[in-house]
Amino acid sequence: MEINPIPVLTIQTVPYEDQKPGSNGFRKSTTMFESKKNYLQNFIQSVLSSIDLRDRQGCTMVVGSDGRYFSKTAIEIIVQMAAANGIGRLIIGQNGLLSTPAVSCIIRKIKAIGGIILTASHNPGGPGGDFGIKFNVANGGPAPDTVTDKIFQISKTIEEYAICPDLRIDLSRVGRQEFDLENKFKPFRVEIVDSVDVYLNMLRTLFDMNAIKSLLTGPDQLKIRIDAMNGVMGPYVRRILCDELGAPANSAMNCVPLEDFGGQYPDPNLTYATGLLEAMKGGEHGFGAAFDADGDRYMILGENGFFVNPSDSLAVIAANLSCIPYFRQMGVRGFGRSMPTSTALDRVAKAMKVPVYETPTGWKYFANLMDSGRCSLCGEESFGTGSDHLREKDGLWSVLIWLSIMAARKQTIEEIVQDHWAKFGRHYYCRFDYEALDPRTAIFIMKDLEAAITEKSFANQKFAVGSHVFSVEKTDSFEYVDPVDGTVSKKQGLRIIFADGARIIFRISASGTMGTTLRIYAESYEKDPSNHNKEPQTVLGPLIAIALKLSQIHERTGRKGPTVIT
């Protein structure tokens, strides 16, 4: 206990116009946070002010980070501001580390009012990289649009913030630290907790951990390779997969969280998780996985680097939920997928006779569906899957799901996926990202496209590419009405759906920090198993040609191709 009460100060500040949260959280280059006066303070005050004063007084919040550069500085400021704004208690991960799913889990477990996660997710970190702030609400999920809109509004008119600049905490020491503040009756309390404990305890209740352990340690031991990409997942991989589930220590790679992620993109896909891909190609390992910096995304690879497309991963998980004790107990109520995610999930849902909810991109749209008991499993094409065990996508949970399926079915990753395709047909899928475009050019491409595809005559268009003819069945600018609270989200991407179920989607990303990123998603369906082992980009070539022709994206941007293909 401090002897002298700590002063609470009110500091004048000037608002910024650009503090608008995106698909999940608020992201900018680290330089902006470091060089623009009160840039972090303004945003944090806007988050805290968005919580009704009565709810805020004495409440508990959770704070964590993916360990990227500037996180520790930011945590210190957040602690000082939380205290000055009447928050009663903060739960913080040791050394500031908590994965996004772990924060969601702790918020729910201790009934906190919400949480702050310092991460720009899969965006690179370090002084030249990005920094970001996710804000989650009491159900453990990302703040919905109503809340992020409010935060943005406050940030545009903010005049002052409250802070206790003399308050110092020790992030490395697990335990309770208490502080007496000036003008406050109750002491302000900070609890530093182990980053993994609460999350691991939750996993133990969802899975048959012994079955996974036997798979990883039994006589026919499955050799796995797990890449934490130098992000927050290192401690989770070591504790959960190695210590708890028995995988040998050399199964885990890049498990020390680094402030700049070792200079790599902490993005689990075939472009950036090349270390894992190379290791898997060696043929020694039967299962590989990588995570993004904050641990909500994952990529699964099978023997020899067999790639599991994230939309397929979601569909395969959906079809095999009965392998998991949690779903055997809870039953399966419905599925959710973001609009661009392939419709492979829909075929499984049809067979299981459960509804599918098609939402805009971003996990926040799933929370209402889960809270109201409509939805058990959700996923996105961007390497994210999760269930109603919490309110975030959950990378390590997805890995344990896959290991459970392997244990139950006694098959390899490739066999599981091939069997799935044989039963349901294969949805070929790929995404083209055109990053850092001039924002005006990108907006005009989308405007012109929208005008073209929503014109009446477009509805009867046929596109002949080689021997294949694609007939347009439906086009629209995707709009979502939340079935629980009726909130309408407009302009969530342009869709062209063809008569054979193939789709082309155009969408502007809302998670980047440089210029504008335009994404093109292409999907086509193939029922015949003899055609299930082709290169996705070859199969999707005709659809991509149509997308490029319609958008004129290369001509209008001067680009010769996408920045990243997944």
Range in contact with ligand VG1 (rule: CB under 6 A) among 327-335, 376-384, 413-421, 539-547: 376-384
Q: Strands 480-481, 488-489: parallel, antiparallel or unpaired by DSSP?
A: antiparallel
Rounded Cα distance between 204 and 83, Å, is: 34
Contacts of 216 (CB under 8 A, 6+ apart): 222, 224, 241, 245, 246, 247, 403
Question: Bridge partners of 114?
Answer: 61, 137
CA 206 to chain centre: 21
Q: Give the tokens for residue 305.
A: 């680097």
Contacts of 232 (CB under 8 A, 6+ apart): 64, 65, 66, 67, 97, 98, 99, 119, 195, 257, 293, 294, 295
Known catalytic membership, residue 121: yes
Residue 511: which of ligand VG1, Co ion, none does it interact with, CB under 5 to 8 A by kind? ligand VG1
Contacts with Co ion in 118-157 (CB under 5 A)?
Answer: 121
Q: Give the tokens for residue 513.
A: 């920090």
Nearest approach, Cβ of 517 to ligand VG1 (angstroms)? Answer: 6
If you write DSSP's letter for every residue of 258-297 in order, what string do you get?
-TTGGGS----STTT-HHHHHHHHTS--SEEEEE-TTSS-
Nearest approach, Cβ of 508 to ligand VG1 (angstroms)? Answer: 8
Range in contact with ligand VG1 (rule: CB under 6 A) among 57-65, 192-200, 503-511, 543-551: 503-511
Q: Give the tokens for residue 531.
A: 């055609």
Please tell me the count of residues contacting Co ion according to CB under 5 A.
5
Q: Which is nearer to ligand VG1, 302 or 512 (CB)?
A: 512
Nearest approach, Cβ of 519 to ligand VG1 (angstroms)? Answer: 6
Which of 49, 99, 121, 551 is labelled catalytic?
121
Residue 177: which of ligand VG1, Co ion, none does it interact with, CB under 5 to 8 A by kind? none
Contacts with ligand VG1 in 278-307 (CB under 6 A)?
Answer: 292, 296-297
> At CA 312, angle to CA 401 and CA 465, rounded to 5?
175
User: In this structure, are residues 162 and 10 in contact, taking their beta carbons and an 8 Å threshold?
Assistant: yes
Question: Could you give the count of Cα atoms lying within 13 Å of 143 in the half-sphere of its Cβ?
Answer: 26
Residue 482: which of Co ion, ligand VG1, none does it interact with, CB under 5 to 8 A by kind? none
Q: Which is nearer to ligand VG1, 42 or 511 (CB)?
A: 511
Contacts with ligand VG1 in 113-142 (CB under 6 A)?
Answer: 121-122
Please tell me the count of residues contacting ligand VG1 according to CB under 6 A.
18
Q: Which is nearer to ligand VG1, 181 or 226 (CB)?
A: 226
- Told to check if 294 binds Co ion by CB under 5 A, we report yes
Residue 380: which of Co ion, ligand VG1, none does it interact with, CB under 5 to 8 A by kind? ligand VG1
- Told to check if 362 binds ligand VG1 by CB under 6 A, we report yes
Q: Which is nearer to Co ion, 66 or 303 (CB)?
A: 66
- Told to check if 99 binds ligand VG1 by CB under 6 A, we report no
Which residue numbers are catalytic? Answer: 121
Q: Which residues contact ligand VG1 by CB under 6 A?
A: 23-24, 121-122, 292, 296-297, 338, 361-363, 380, 382, 384, 509-512
